Amino acid sequence: MKQRLLLIAALLLMSLGGTACGSQASAGSEATATPTPTKTAKTSTPQQLASVVAEHNASVEQINLDEDCSFYEHSAEGNPKAFAANVQALTCSIGKQTHAINAEILVTKLTKLAPYPEELASLVEDTIAKAKRLAAIKVNDSCDSQSTVSDVCRLARLNYRMAAPGLASTLASWKPYGA
C-alpha cells in the first residue's frame, strides 16, 4: 500500500513538473516554433511480412484442413447412437471456423504492415484476398450441435473446403521469404 502511494505521488509530481518548473516563457522572450517532421510511410520488409504469414501457419498447423466433416455426418444420419458422430462433426466445424478466424487476423496484421515492398505487393494482395474469402465463411454460425447435418451447415463447410486450399497454396508461395 505504501509503495502504491509513493508511485502515485511520483507520477503526480512528474506530471506537474513540466508546468511548474520553468516551462512558461518569460515575458521578454519570443517562442520559436520548431517544424514538425512529416512522417513518410515506411515500407515493410519481406521478413516482417513472412513472419506474419509464418505465425498464421503455426496457428493452423493442428487443424486438418483436408478433413471432410461430412464423414461424421454420414455416421450420424439415421444412427440412434449419433451423439458421438454429431460431436465429432461439430468439433470438425469448430476447427474450420478457427482457421477462418485466424485468416481474419492474418488480414488485419498484413494490412497494418502496408505499404508493401514492390516485389511482394501482388503476393500480399493475393494473400489478403484469399484470407478474406476464407474469413467470410461462418461455419459456426451455420453448424451447431443440432444441425451438423443440415444443408446450411454442409454448404458452409463446402465453401470452406473450396476456399482453404486456395489460401494454403498462396501461403506456400511465402516459403522463399522465410514463412
Q: What is the pLDDT of residue 62?
A: 61
**Pseudo-torsion of CA 137, 141, 147, 151, nearest 10°?**
-40
Query: What confidence tens digit (pLDDT) does each residue in 155-165 have?
Result: 887 888 888 88
Q: Which residue has the higher pLDDT, 84 or 106?
A: 106
Going by pLDDT thresholds of 50, 70 and 90, the confidence category of residue 15 is: very low
Q: Which fold has domain 46-177?
A: Four Helix Bundle (Hemerythrin (Met), subunit A) (1.20.120)
Q: What's the rounded mean pLDDT across residues 9-35? A: 44
**End-to-end Cα distance, the chain:** 48
Q: What's the rounded mean pLDDT across residues 20-42? A: 50
Q: What's the rounded mean pLDDT across residues 6-35? A: 44
